[in-house]
Structure 1
């Protein structure tokens, strides 16, 4: 595949369409922290680990091609301010509303198509949240989630690769594989009309 003078491959037709006036689709990933989030550590992670992973994180789209630009992290970081002294369940609602509004906002075209939102208020699920909003023109969900997961380390031993618990499929008596019931494969009627659920927060369209 040919690359332009910026060293970037041309945007695919799908990426061009995802970033058109007709359609704008983003991928939202939420990292939940058991401890309060430190701004300095978060900024260091973005600068030293996140940005170098993919050159498109430091590029804007110009005529269906990427153009490298200087990144100012403060232009991509948003730290919302909620009322202080509320209960975790109250902050659940504030976080849900914030994510709903943030998910509907379109990206400006003069800077790379990603944002990070640092929510420093404790909810029922975590002491803090880091929310990544990545435009689908940057890549497909599999590659973008792989990029995010590559930024993480194991708490027990950072030198070991990140792993997840394995899931064993249930086997009926006839010996054939059968998927376990999940929110996606629940068998319930009208499932496609229910609110979309991202991590632990409902995003209503």
Structure 2
């Protein structure tokens, strides 16, 4: 994971899984260092970072859960727009898994889940599995301002994998950029 700037060795763990969901290659260790100027680049410019948003922005209804590999409507973090590859981020500060404490900005986990769900909108197989995710955080996402999620599928000839780039923008500024890879389950 990179949060803007340059990545340097740090701690973290990566495991590659095959279609049978078992680890196929030995785990590799990597790690990234976030240098000091980062918090200033990520800080919101419209208000101080500790002032809570008065009213989280709530777009229309969520996508159907099956379209984003979820079973419960509450876990869907995307709303549709007239453009099939563009969605609006849904923020529910009462969601126990995505908001475990009060925040003045959208948590990174919410943005990662939005990228995962957006990638799932590009496939028709309901049991597709996330096999890779690389994400760069550019800025905080404010809770009270619309955040648009753009999905850019990449052609993948001669492979069953789905590759796409997900970009979240707010006020015409990039918030995150993610590259996602999905794989359908093996045929039996």
Normalization by structure 1: what TM-score? 0.25
Structure with the bigger RCO (C-alpha within 8 Å, sep 6+) is 1
More helix by share: 1
Larger Rg: 1
